[in-house]
Structure 1
């Protein structure tokens, strides 16, 4: 691999990664003194550091004149539990990398983003759903040269970097679990239509029914918007059916908590009379009673990964689509059981 010529720009962490034949993240772990790196890999990174005469004060922060050390997390999600997890993951990674994090609620529109850019000179932005698919916001950021990374966007072929999980597969696994317990009438509460993941989770639910030979019944699908109140209203709709479901799968934990509240008001025992499942595994899932069976979505990890990808984008801009797909996990707790005979 060619060496850097005298008089060239200072070596960056991306240059070190290329020289050592490892990822940007691996170099970051080595330089931060983390232990989960093989000694052989650590040696290669440190040799590259020496070869390129890399200096810690010559990393991404100095790639641009007076480069900002501020990253902005943009959100317009009604679930405070989800946003709280994303915020914490991004904040922890920013602190590790020497950046500051600010947040901007764009629920009323993204018109203030450029003003925020001008005021804070932010280095880049992280877009959370549904802003990940907001064409006006994306165009605005590109036109003004603001680097950004998207969390869980719909179009993986869109130029740029993003991080997500397989929402469809995760929802399919949850529905298959409920079917495996013996449930055949499974209600589903969909999330806000503006969120691409809401559609994917509905598709996963339908996949599981189809694979089990259970006809899809549209009456068993209620609309929600990822809030507790919408889960409560959707639960009432499903529980008022002439033949109510034996299980309800909500597209996030907030709505699942609304289902549990609706059952409490109706004196329906969970899980003896109704099984309830959620999605996200926010702290709420383990603290409500009964504790919630749910899909663990690594929201903190996605946010942390998004910060890392953003630093790569700042250091080495690229139009090549790049997606990091993280693992999910089915978490079984007390809110699900076989249907009552």
Structure 2
């Protein structure tokens, strides 16, 4: 970037008679060329005192940036991507709202990229998305966030990212940890406190780490109280309403049904409601149900669904905020968003035999 000489007298010795460059501004102000570029483009990623010092120097030496170069830098610096592979629409919407909360007023915009992590070439597709959009950084949402090969590929092309997952996945990347195991354990403790002993579990798909964490947390909490969950009381489903219906048909239409069911998300819990209604099973008198997510669906069902609140919007907000931390401020490597149980009307003590 070169500029015309508008204030030659104010220039340091050795610069008089020639146009200042961005390299000169960086050298004289003691900051990086990247920081000067961010100041030129009004980036929020610069501390106030640094911005004031550099802007003062630019005025003193008459530095005016090249408008074309400024436009190119702007397009590169102000887009945050969100990459997701998740079947639950409300979860993704809440995650986007959270990210937009953090970006509001920052000059950054959000662009989304749905993908299928089971398809060949999906990692190359994500990297192509990052490079074509010239992204400042990427939020990785489960299940995409759980793929170490994708994280490694982004690291290789120099793309910063934040991973959202149920537990820490490595020591180097920025993480937002959702502690799914703890939320499932709280659900188990609540059912046990009501007196339930014949309990069933509808899990998410085994390809999702969140499903493993919720399953483990629930089973371990039962085991601490001396309750072993039989294999025929555990049904894997797909985090969808339809898969919840299929799981409920296995659990509720046999000779002996459980008195309580914990599901890996609210969508599957809604599927269980449908089967119970069709079979004439009263909730909660004959069957207690707990979901996970505490999505808007939970309070809209009748009776309203007891569910583990995972604070999805807060999670998206935290992940986006980590990506746009100003230069010079400490960057958090791991943040936590902890779940907790929201008790409503879908559970009560089991009926006497």
TM-score (norm 1): 0.79
1:7 aligns with 2:29: yes
Per the alignment, residue 108 of structure 2 pairs with 99
Q: Secondary structure at the match of 2:176?
A: strand
Residues in 1 aligned to 2:319 and 2:99: alpha-carbon distance in whole angstroms: 8
Residues in 2 aligned to 1:89 and 1:83: alpha-carbon distance in whole angstroms: 10
- Residues 164 and 178, structure 2, Cα contact 8 Å, conserved in 1: no
Residues in 1 aligned to 2:204 and 2:89: alpha-carbon distance in whole angstroms: 14
Per the alignment, residue 147 of structure 1 pairs with 160
Aligned pair partner of 1:338 in 324, 327, 349:
349
Residues in 2 aligned to 1:219 and 1:128: alpha-carbon distance in whole angstroms: 31
For residues 130-179 of structure 1, give each alpha carbon's deviation from its aligned partner in whole angstroms, at most 9, with x where no partner exists.
11121332122111111110001654334111102221111111111011
- Residues 159 and 321, structure 1, Cα contact 8 Å, conserved in 2: no
Residues in 2 aligned to 1:78 and 1:337: alpha-carbon distance in whole angstroms: 30
User: Structure 2 vs 1, CA of residues 49 and 288 (structure 1 numbering), >3 Å: closer, same or farther?
Assistant: same
For residues 44-84 of structure 1, give each alpha carbon's deviation from its aligned partner in whole angstroms, at most 9, with x where no partner exists.
xxxx845874789xxxxx9x954421111001000111111
Aligned pair partner of 1:70 in 79, 93, 96:
79
Q: CA deviation at 1:338?
A: 1.0
- Residues 153 and 162, structure 1, Cα contact 8 Å, conserved in 2: no
- Residues 132 and 153, structure 1, Cα contact 8 Å, conserved in 2: no
- Runs of 5+ in structure 1 lacking a partner? 13-26, 32-47, 57-61
Per the alignment, residue 59 of structure 2 pairs with none
Per the alignment, residue 210 of structure 2 pairs with 197
Residues in 2 aligned to 1:148 and 1:300: alpha-carbon distance in whole angstroms: 18
Per the alignment, residue 45 of structure 1 pairs with none
User: Structure 2 vs 1, CA of residues 136 and 153 (structure 1 numbering), >3 Å: closer, same or farther?
Assistant: farther
- Runs of 5+ in structure 2 lacking a partner? 1-25, 36-43, 56-69
Q: Secondary structure at the match of 1:279?
A: strand
Per the alignment, residue 336 of structure 2 pairs with 325
Aligned pair partner of 1:85 in 94, 99, 109:
94
Aligned pair partner of 1:285 in 298, 307, 320:
298
Q: CA deviation at 1:95?
A: 2.0
Q: CA deviation at 1:310?
A: 1.4
Residues in 2 aligned to 1:336 and 1:9: alpha-carbon distance in whole angstroms: 60
Per the alignment, residue 39 of structure 1 pairs with none
Q: CA deviation at 1:221?
A: 0.5
Q: Which 4+ runs in 1 deviate beyond 6 A?
A: none
The two structures, once aligned, show a CA RMSD in angstroms of: 2.9
- Residues 167 and 177, structure 2, Cα contact 8 Å, conserved in 1: no
For residues 171-210 of structure 1, give each alpha carbon's deviation from its aligned partner in whole angstroms, at most 9, with x where no partner exists.
1111110111111011101111121111111111112211
Provide the aligned length of Structure 1 versus Structure 2: 298
TM-score (norm 2): 0.77
- Residues 157 and 321, structure 1, Cα contact 8 Å, conserved in 2: no
- Residues 231 and 257, structure 1, Cα contact 8 Å, conserved in 2: yes
Residues in 1 aligned to 2:254 and 2:328: alpha-carbon distance in whole angstroms: 56
